[in-house]
């Protein structure tokens, strides 16, 4: 029996499912005494350092947890579960950590890199440990903005390091206390092996130092499969795909498969992440009955890469006149298996208020969710379309000279952000929205393009460069992929962090393995 320390933040369902997939049963910590009596304790952490430590103290878990660790009992911390082992973090100055390992956690500060550090990266093994038995150098999944560094005082506890903004600690072992900065539960089969190595031993054998030789890893570009999910006319959930956002064909909702089955296929084919966009957004339903909840729960039982859910992440009142905040909705999705939530129209409204007043209210869905779950858990989906102008002075928006002239030969354009799946326009451009969302606390941008959606003519490189150069958070390129060369083109021409596609994957016009093979042939790093 494995004891899971769920302190109430982040997606712990994935950890439970990953543990069960290795053949072990799981029980949750409900009272402090459950920590004291645990045989093997797993602490998955998602969110902010200060919120995690303060919640542990409020629940009475902090003291028993520290005593458990000092007694050198079997422990596995994940992500924030690693960071809390250190003395302090720059994320929340003045809040002490568990102080099991010397040192403090620092924010990545290289302005040339996207932060958070999101994606698949390697590890350099510094010590021989049972944790990495049979590890063949596969990439593992990271998502974090803060990291610990090797120092003379903690060097003996460093198990692996990873390269990003220099070298940071990606796993530690101090006796039977182990922790990883990466998410083994989201690292596919390699992560499952690491979990199994830990759980199958009542006590982890002492790590033996191998080498301090220089070793560098490379962050891979991510290939993301996106599933637009909605109910058809019979009330069944199906994966569909719009032609310029029109999802009907011959009067019927276009049906490209069942959500869970299709997502599992993409996982097996090597997709780095799966995104579900709930384009029905069942706002009239009580939250506990939302059909997408079941999709997430079933998917997280068999898919061990990150899952993102978008659609309906906003405040609403259900058919029974019960009010739910955006944080309530996001929390239910996280507890059901989502690792990230994607916010669309609500983000446009929030940034409009920010631009109008010049200050954040702290009440937008982006702010509320990122404050509790961390900015890495919040993706903003931007749906812009081109608006051509004859002269840059014709508008106050960010204008660029384009290589794709307008219908009347216009050489300039700006990108108007839309709401409700492209059905409504706004007076906010893509750069304003991206920068505003970053300021509010978003951790990633999903950048669509209405003009390219469903065209198979390639990504809008001009748009992607425009937004990528305006923000420091990762950008996912979307809309327009029609052949494998479009993926290499967008990575080489824009430096975007990930590329997303939907219809061409659903219809098997481009297999995901073919995309990966093409990118490797061009020395573009992928998992």
Q: What backbone torsions phi and psi does residue 161 show, to the nearest 5 degrees?
A: -130, 165
The Cα-based distances of 477 to 320, 338, 445 in angstroms read 39, 21, 9
Instruction: For residue 185, indicate whether it is catalytic.
Output: yes
- Out of 79, 124, 226, 417, which one is annotated catalytic? 79
- Out of 117, 144, 183, 506, which one is annotated catalytic? 183
Q: What backbone torsions phi and psi does residue 517 show, to the nearest 5 degrees?
A: -65, -40
Distance CA 105, CA 94 (A): 12
Tell me whether strands 101-107 and 146-148 are parallel, antiparallel or unpaired: antiparallel
Long-range Cβ pairs for the range 499-503 (8 Å, 24+): 499/221, 499/222, 499/223, 499/224, 499/459, 500/224, 500/225, 500/226, 500/275, 500/446, 500/476, 501/223, 501/224, 501/225, 501/226, 502/225, 502/226, 502/227, 502/228, 502/241, 503/241, 503/256, 503/454
Instruction: For residue 228, indicate whether it is catalytic.
Output: yes
Domains of the chain, start order: 2-209 (3.40.50.880), 222-382+418-521 (3.20.20.70)
Task: Give the number of C-alpha atoms closer than 13 A to the C-alpha of residue 373, restricted to the C-beta side.
Answer: 30
Contact 191, 183 (CB under 8 A): yes
* pLDDT value at residue 349: 95
Q: Among residues 53, 9, 44, which one has the least CA distance to residue 26?
A: 44
- Out of 228, 339, 367, 438, which one is annotated catalytic? 228
Residue 219 DSSP class: P
* pLDDT value at residue 121: 98
For 273-304, give one letter per residue: b (16+ CB within 10 A) or e.
bbbbbbbbbbbebebeebbbbebbebbbbebb
Task: Give the number of C-alpha atoms closer than 13 A to the C-alpha of residue 175, restricted to the C-beta side.
Answer: 11
- Out of 6, 91, 167, 185, which one is annotated catalytic? 185
Distance CA 160, CA 151 (A): 13
Structure-token pair, residue 393: 């002075």
Q: What secondary structure does DSSP assign to 461-481, as a single string? A: HHHHHHHHTT-SS-EEE-S--
- Those residues whose C-beta lies under 8 Å from the C-beta of residue 329, and which sit 6 or more positions away, are 287, 312, 313, 314, 316
pLDDT in tens, the chain (527 residues): 899 998 876 678 999 999 999 999 999 999 999 999 999 999 997 788 998 999 999 999 999 999 999 999 999 999 999 999 999 999 999 999 999 999 999 999 999 999 999 999 999 999 989 899 888 999 999 999 999 999 999 999 999 999 999 999 999 999 999 999 999 999 999 999 999 999 987 455 556 666 667 789 999 999 999 998 877 766 677 887 655 445 556 566 566 678 999 999 999 999 999 999 887 655 456 566 677 888 899 999 999 999 999 988 888 887 788 888 999 999 999 999 999 999 999 999 999 999 999 999 999 999 999 988 889 999 999 999 999 999 999 999 999 999 999 999 999 999 999 987 778 899 999 999 999 999 999 999 999 999 999 899 999 999 999 999 999 999 999 999 999 999 999 999 999 999 999 999 999 999 999 999 999 999 999 99
Instruction: For residue 506, indicate whether it is catalytic.
Output: no
Contact 512, 505 (CB under 8 A): yes
Q: What is the pTM of this model?
A: 0.93
Instruction: For residue 427, indicate whether it is catalytic.
Output: no
Instruction: For residue 383, indicate whether it is catalytic.
Output: yes
Tell me which residue has tokens 């606390």.
441
- Out of 367, 383, 453, 462, which one is annotated catalytic? 383
Distance CA 200, CA 24 (A): 9
* pLDDT value at residue 311: 85
What does the angle CA 34 – CA 15 – CA 304 come to, to the nearest 5 degrees? Answer: 170
Distance CA 32, CA 45 (A): 18
SS3 sequence of 154-216: CHHHEEEEEECCCEEEEEEEECCEEEECCCHHHCHHHHHHHHHHHHCCCCCCCCEECCCCCCC
Structure-token pair, residue 121: 């990266």
Bridge partners, residue 123, by sequence? none
Structure-token pair, residue 200: 């199958």
Structure-token pair, residue 428: 């906010």
Bridge partners, residue 179, by sequence? 77, 172
Q: Among residues 388, 371, 391, which one has the least CA distance to residue 441?
A: 371
């Amino acid at each position: 029996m494995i004891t899971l320390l769920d302190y109430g933040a982040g997606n712990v369902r994935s950890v439970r499912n990953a543990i069960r997939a290795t053949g072990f049963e799981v029980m949750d910590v409900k009272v402090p005494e459950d920590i004291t009596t645990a045989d093997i304790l797993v602490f998955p952490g998602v969110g902010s350092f200060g919120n995690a430590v303060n919640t542990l103290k409020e629940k009475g878990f902090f003291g028993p947890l520290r005593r458990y660790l000092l007694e050198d009992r079997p422990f596995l911390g994940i992500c924030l579960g690693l960071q809390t082992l250190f003395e302090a973090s720059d994320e929340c100055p003045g809040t002490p950590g568990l102080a099991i390992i010397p040192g403090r956690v620092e924010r990545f500060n290289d302005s040339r890199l996207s932060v958070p550090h999101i994606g698949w990266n390697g590890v350099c093994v510094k010590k021989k440990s049972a944790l990495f038995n049979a590890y063949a150098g596969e990439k593992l999944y990271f998502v974090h903005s803060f990291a610990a560094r090797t120092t003379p005082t903690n060097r003996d506890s460093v198990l692996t390091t990873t390269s990003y903004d220099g070298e940071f600690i990606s796993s530690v072992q101090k006796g039977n206390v182990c922790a990883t900065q990466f998410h083994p539960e989201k690292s596919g089969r390699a992560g499952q092996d690491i979990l199994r190595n830990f759980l199958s031993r009542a006590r982890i054998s002492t790590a033996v130092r191998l080498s301090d030789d220089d070793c560098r890893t490379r962050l891979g570009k991510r290939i993301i499969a996106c599933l637009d999910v909605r109910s058809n006319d019979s009330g069944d959930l199906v994966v569909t795909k719009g032609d310029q956002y029109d999802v009907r064909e011959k009067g019927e909702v276009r049906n490209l498969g069942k959500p869970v089955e299709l997502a599992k296929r993409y996982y097996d084919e090597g997709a780095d992440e799966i995104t579900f966009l709930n384009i029905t957004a069942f706002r009239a339903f009580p939250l506990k009955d939302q059909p997408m909840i079941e999709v997430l729960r079933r998917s997280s039982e068999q898919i061990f890469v990150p899952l993102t859910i978008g659609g309906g992440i906003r405040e609403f009142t259900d058919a029974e006149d019960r009010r739910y905040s955006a944080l309530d909705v996001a929390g239910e999705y996280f507890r059901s298996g989502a690792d990230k939530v994607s916010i669309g129209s609500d983000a446009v409204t929030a940034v409009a208020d920010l631009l109008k007043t010049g200050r954040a209210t702290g009440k937008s869905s982006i702010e509320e969710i990122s404050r509790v779950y961390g900015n890495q858990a919040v993706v903003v989906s931007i749906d812009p379309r081109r608006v051509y102008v004859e002269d840059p002075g014709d508008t106050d928006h960010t204008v660029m000279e384009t290589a794709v002239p307008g219908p009347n030969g216009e050489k300039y354009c700006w990108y108007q952000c839309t709401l409700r799946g492209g059905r409504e326009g706004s007076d906010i451009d893509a750069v304003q929205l991206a920068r505003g969302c970053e300021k509010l606390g978003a951790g990633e941008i999903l950048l669509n393009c209405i003009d390219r959606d469903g065209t198979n003519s390639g990504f809008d490189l001009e748009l992607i460069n425009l937004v990528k150069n305006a923000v420091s958070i990762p950008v996912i390129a979307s809309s327009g992929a029609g052949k494998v060369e479009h993926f290499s083109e967008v990575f080489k021409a824009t430096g975007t962090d990930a590329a997303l596609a939907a219809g061409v994957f659903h219809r098997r016009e481009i297999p995901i393995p073919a995309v990966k093979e093409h990118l490797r042939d061009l020395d573009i790093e992928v998992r």
